Chains A and B, each alone.
Chain A
Amino acid sequence: MDVDHNSLVGFAKSWGLFYLMLLAIGVVIYALWPSNRKRFDRAKKSIFDKDDRPGD
């Protein structure tokens, strides 16, 4: 197959859209997935641990 400028443009204009849409949907699902809530809540509070030493 001959890859010329126009076919690259066509690819970018079609599949580029789909991959960004899929990525956006995936990210939103990951961020809002109910079972991830506990992990995120723990993560955002974890930086307040008083102990300034590495974990065991």
Chain B
Amino acid sequence: MIATLTVAERQSAIALSMLVAFFGLIMMIAGSGDVLGVHGVIVLLFGLGFLGLVMSKYFEPEPPQERLTRYYDDPTKVGIVLSLGWAVVGMFFGVWVAALLAWPDLTLDAGWASFGRIRPVHTSGVIFGFGGNALIATSFHVLQRTTRARLPDQVTPWFVLIGYNLFCVIAASGYLMGVTQSKEYAEPEWYADLWLVVVWVTYFLLYLRTLQRRKEPHIYVANWYYMAFILVVAVLHIVNNLAVPISFGSAKSYSLFSGVQDAMTQWWYGHNAVAFFLTAGFLGMLYYYLPKRAGRPIFSYRLSIISFWGITFMYMWAGSHHLHYTALPQWVQTLGMTFSVVLLVPSWASAGNALATLNGAWDKVRDDATLRFMMVAAVFYGLSTFEGSFMAIRAVNSLSHYTDWTVGHVHAGALGWVAMITFGSLYALVPWMWKVERIYSPKLVEVHFWLALSGTIIYVFAMWNSGIIQGLMWRTYNDSGTLAFSFIESVVAMRPYYIARTVGGSLFLLGAIVAAYNVWMTIRMARLRGVTETGGTDEPVLPGAGAALQPGE
């Protein structure tokens, strides 16, 4: 991988690694005696590790000019592997958190394993680790293919991918040590947030630079979704994380906002994180990999444009439905509710567009589990956006809010839509990236599909049941006008559903492990084949340059 960098690029990689290590050192010194110091050590080791890695290959020969006639896919390959790694870790923590609710003793009497610390490891692990890496990896692939332009250089994509994973590591390790801003999906503290701003702006600029070099006059709609994802997440992240650290030697900071303004900013962020991180980016995947795999162009390109603008402009206003019946002004709540209901139109336009694309290729859906992953994703996208619009209505929300129904809704979206479209896209992408005809075992893809689907259904049904029971128990009054049930009675009533949820989650985790194994074996298969068949690999053979000058694998 490093041998494919030019010498100038290796030098900038060294400079960047040294800069990261230097910042780690400063954090270590300034934050000694604080968790910031521990993070300093992690950042320092991270920087030094990459420094050593690049130095070890520094004197390899320059890559041939011929590389410029190919797409640059190494970051995509690494991104896929990282994504699956995070999937297994994040989902393992998810199952653990689920089990904690049924068997509270599973905290092992350790502070780091308490519910409040491992839950964000689960949410960040799956959303940012699994989802984010998959988005970065596929965006590099889709961007190059649809613009027919190679990425402008070979360092920036690595900086984005590796820098992003450094953020994920800092986030997850911080939660275990008790570092948190207490903002949902925005838990990492100020120094991690600042680092992510640098990485994210670089990502956006990389996207624009590649688009500038495009050979296709029209920018394919998948890129619009990816760009909306990158741009809006940058805006959300910067605004919601405006905070003042208590000192430069401390991990702790205080938000610039307070009271209901803070709540509104947080849920403007939180709901748009769902909209632009968990929806727009994955719709980008859907609009490229689904037509590609089905071998049919998208049903209506015009509809995809209309739904794109609908989604981008309406989601912005929906966040306040998280704050029904709070100190937030009534009209702002109503605004959020109304936009949430109208959002059903562009959401169903996208889901319908995807399913109409498959119309005429149902035989492929039946035979090909990869395409079936994408089909089920589109169905769950339609279902969970309908459910979301419904739950945003104030009267429905009075029953559903603070109950497990919300958790069930999120997982219908996260497991049924986001994870399904990701696994489908990765199964399609992996053979293309490693230049093999098919994945190692299509049977295991089939096994994964049924594990994932049954896991999702068990999970969602368990949470629907428990959520509605919970909501009803909390609002049942007796003849004298007081609550009929104590809170603990509602907790006891939840127990069977919590156990069912743990089972559903375990099935889903098992599926992710099967996927990781399958992809790993595909990579091994490609490598073994590369050894036996010379010239059949990803690395082009240099004509007339002699074997000694060939770049290392």
User: Which residue of chain A has its CB nearest to the CB of B289?
Assistant: A47
Please, which residues of chain B bring their CB within 8 A of the CB of A49? Answer: 148
Please, which residues of chain A bring their CB within 8 A of the CB of B331? Answer: 9, 13
Task: Indicate if B145 sits at the interface (CB-CB under 8 A).
Answer: yes
Please, which residues of chain B bring their CB within 8 A of the CB of A39? Answer: 217-218
A4 to chain B minimum Cβ distance, whole angstroms, is 14
A54 and B216 contact, CB distance less than 8 A: no
- Please, could you name 9 A-B residue pairs with CB atoms under 8 Å apart, sorted by A? A20-B313, A23-B313, A28-B306, A44-B297, A46-B220, A47-B288, A47-B292, A54-B71, A54-B215
- When each residue 20-56 of chain A gets 1 if its CB lies under 8 Å from chain B and 0 otherwise, what string results? 1001100110111000000111111111110011111
Identify which of B149, B220, B313, B432 contacts A54 (C-beta below 8 A): B149
B220 and A43 contact, CB distance less than 8 A: yes
Cα–Cα, bound, A21→B518 (Å):
49
Cα–Cα, bound, A48→B298 (Å):
11
A53 and B305 contact, CB distance less than 8 A: no
Interface centre among A9, A41, A43, A54 (most CB of B within 10 A): A54
B146 and A46 contact, CB distance less than 8 A: yes
Contacting B at CB under 8 A, from A1-29, are 9, 13, 20, 23-24, 27-28
Given contact pairs A43-B220, A54-B150, a sample of 7 additional A-B residue pairs in the complex whose CB atoms are under 8 Å apart = A27-B310, A40-B218, A43-B221, A43-B301, A47-B220, A47-B297, A52-B145
A54 and B69 contact, CB distance less than 8 A: yes
- When each residue 199-234 of chain B gets 1 if its CB lies under 8 Å from chain A and 0 otherwise, what string results? 000000000000000011110110000000000000
A48 to chain B minimum Cβ distance, whole angstroms, is 7
Task: Indicate if B291 sits at the interface (CB-CB under 8 A).
Answer: yes
Identify which of A20, A31, A56 contacts B302 (C-beta below 8 A): A31
Task: Indicate if B144 sits at the interface (CB-CB under 8 A).
Answer: yes
Task: Indicate if B309 sits at the interface (CB-CB under 8 A).
Answer: yes
Shortest 10 CB-CB contacts between residues of A and residues of B: A55-B215, A55-B148, A44-B297, A40-B301, A27-B309, A31-B302, A44-B301, A43-B218, A54-B150, A31-B305
Task: Indicate if B524 sits at the interface (CB-CB under 8 A).
Answer: no
Task: Indicate if B70 sits at the interface (CB-CB under 8 A).
Answer: yes
A53 and B301 contact, CB distance less than 8 A: no
Please, which residues of chain A bring their CB within 8 A of the CB of B69? Answer: 53-54
A52 and B297 contact, CB distance less than 8 A: no
B297 and A48 contact, CB distance less than 8 A: yes
Identify which of B145, B148, B217, B297 contacts A45 (C-beta below 8 A): B297
B164 to chain A minimum Cβ distance, whole angstroms, is 25
User: Which residue of chain B has its CB nearest to the CB of A51?
Assistant: B148
A56 and B301 contact, CB distance less than 8 A: no
A41 and B216 contact, CB distance less than 8 A: no
A47 and B146 contact, CB distance less than 8 A: yes
Please, which residues of chain B bring their CB within 8 A of the CB of A45? Answer: 297
Cα–Cα, bound, A31→B298 (Å):
15
User: Which residue of chain A has its CB nearest to the CB of B435?
Assistant: A52
A40 and B302 contact, CB distance less than 8 A: yes
Cα–Cα, bound, A48→B145 (Å):
10
A40 to chain B minimum Cβ distance, whole angstroms, is 4
Cα–Cα, bound, A40→B297 (Å):
11
Interface centre among A9, A27, A31, A39 (most CB of B within 10 A): A31
A19 to chain B minimum Cβ distance, whole angstroms, is 9
User: Which residue of chain B has its CB nearest to the CB of A12?
Assistant: B335
User: Which residue of chain B has its CB nearest to the CB of A42?
Assistant: B218
B220 and A55 contact, CB distance less than 8 A: no
Please, which residues of chain B bring their CB within 8 A of the CB of A44? Answer: 291, 297-298, 301
Please, which residues of chain B bring their CB within 8 A of the CB of A20? Answer: 313-314
Given A39-B218, A46-B146, A47-B288, answer yes or no on A31-B306 (Cβ-Cβ < 8 Å): yes
Given A46-B146, A54-B71, answer yes or no on A32-B288 (Cβ-Cβ < 8 Å): no
User: Which residue of chain A has its CB nearest to the CB of B219?
Assistant: A43
A46 and B305 contact, CB distance less than 8 A: no
Cα–Cα, bound, A56→B306 (Å):
32
B292 and A56 contact, CB distance less than 8 A: no
Please, which residues of chain B bring their CB within 8 A of the CB of A55? Answer: 148-149, 215-216
User: Which residue of chain A has its CB nearest to the CB of B150?
Assistant: A54
Please, which residues of chain A bring their CB within 8 A of the CB of B432? Answer: 52
User: Which residue of chain A has its CB nearest to the CB of B302?
Assistant: A31
B301 to chain A minimum Cβ distance, whole angstroms, is 4
Please, which residues of chain A bring their CB within 8 A of the CB of B301? Answer: 40-41, 43-44
B291 and A47 contact, CB distance less than 8 A: yes
User: Which residue of chain A has its CB nearest to the CB of B342?
Assistant: A20
A14 to chain B minimum Cβ distance, whole angstroms, is 13
- When each residue 426-461 of chain B gets 1 if its CB lies under 8 Å from chain A and 0 otherwise, what string results? 000000100000000000000000000000000000
Cα–Cα, bound, A55→B36 (Å):
47
Cα–Cα, bound, A52→B310 (Å):
33
- When each residue 122-157 of chain B gets 1 if its CB lies under 8 Å from chain A and 0 otherwise, what string results? 000000000000000000000011101110000000
Please, which residues of chain B bring their CB within 8 A of the CB of A30? Answer: 305
Cα–Cα, bound, A48→B146 (Å):
10
Cα–Cα, bound, A20→B314 (Å):
9
